Amino acid sequence: MQHVQLGLIGDKIQASRSPDLHRLAGRLCGLDVSYDLLIPPARGETFDAVFDHGRTGGYRGINVTYPYKERVLSRLASPAPGLTALGACNTVVFDEGGPRGANTDCTGFASAFRHRFGEASPGVVAMAGAGGVGKAIAFALVSLGAREIRLCDADRPKAEALAAALAPVAEGTRIVICDSVVEAGERVDGIVNATPLGMAGVGGNAIPDVALDGAGWAFDAVYTPEWTEFLTRAREGCLDILSGYELFLFQGIDAFRIFTGHDVDAEALRRELAGDALREAS
């Protein structure tokens, strides 16, 4: 059985289920997959040192998560123009020609949205967070035909930079920068948390309850835990929910394809992950 060594670089990823996803995807495809959590602070190393460990240590590829999705671009051999415009990378393959990158958060969100909502337009969307995952989601929302995207980030220059990056591809999508989530959330169809607030080890909630009034759907990029305070409040408000778990699933399927060349059935993998979680809990 072919062995494939993979890993994930990020901070506060101890609860990540990425090792399970790729191991089980490998089982479905007849591959022996190992997947390591590579946490720079825990290793007492810089991001670059951990990246070099992946590059020289026999890894086929690595995923990259918060807070390194933008930083990793400088380590790629020749980023594709689309990836450079997006400004964030979460999947790296180590090829003979050097590290090659992709952003499966972008493709994964688009797939997750279509899986949940069919061909419906995202409409007018308020989004908190313009960092690595926010960039991917914003570009995906444009590709899905969003009518308007309202960007809000505590670091306003980040939102301005994302708006500028979106401008060449936005076409029929209006891009607006707002100073607060409350302002952004007025009369929207969808509301998105693309900040790390809510994740295990961080906690909090970037979306005030008032911003949920009148919205139709909600998405949280956080998936550990799946039911963050934000999504719990959105469900109580009867919004249609797209959880971060769906992004986790579909971006993982895209990353696995890039790493191995194998396609995995989403529902088969979902069942395997659910069964694995039950076994661990018992």
Q: Label the pairing between strands 124-128 and 148-152.
A: parallel
Confidence of residue 275 (pLDDT cuts 50, 70, 90): confident
Is the model's pLDDT at 281 over the cut of 70?
Answer: no
Across the range 252-258, mean pLDDT stands at 98
Q: Please say if the pLDDT value at position 202 is more than 80.
A: yes
Please give the Cα distance from 214 to 221 (Å, whole number): 21
**Cis before 99? omega within 30:** no
pLDDT at 15: 86
Mean pLDDT of the chain: 95
- The average pLDDT across 230-253 equals 97
Residue 48: its pLDDT value, please? 98
If you average pLDDT over residues 209-230, what whole number do you get?
Answer: 94
pTM attached to this predicted model: 0.92
Q: Under CATH, to which class is 3-103+246-276 assigned?
A: alpha beta
Give the tokens for residue 251: 């971006």
Q: Please tell me the predicted confidence (pLDDT) of residue 80.
A: 85
Kindly report, residue by residue over 178-194, the tens digit of the pLDDT: 999 999 999 999 999 99
Strands 91-95, 61-64: pairing kind: antiparallel
Q: How far apart are CA 196 and CA 157, in angstroms?
A: 18
pLDDT, position 278: 58
Q: Which numeric CATH code is attached to 106-245?
A: 3.40.50.720
The CA-to-CA distance between both ends of the chain, in Å, stands at 29
User: pLDDT digits over 145-164, tens only?
Assistant: 999 999 999 999 999 999 99
3-103+246-276 with 106-245: one CATH topology?
yes
Q: What is the pLDDT of residues 60-79, one digit of tens each?
A: 999 999 899 999 999 999 88
Res. 196 pLDDT band, cuts 50 70 90: very high
Res 276 pLDDT > 80: no
Query: Domain-by-domain residue ranges, the chain?
Result: 3-103+246-276, 106-245
pLDDT over 60 at 227, yes or no = yes
Strand order in the sheet with 124-128: 174-177, 148-152, 124-128, 190-193, 217-220, 240-242
Per-residue pLDDT band for 4 (boundaries 50, 70, 90) equals very high
Residue 1 has a pLDDT of 80
pLDDT at position 79 is: 86
Cα dihedral 162, 163, 167, 172 in deg (nearest 10): 120
Residue 261 has a pLDDT of 97
Residues marked as catalytic: 68
* Separation between Cα atoms, residue 245 and residue 221, nearest integer Å: 8
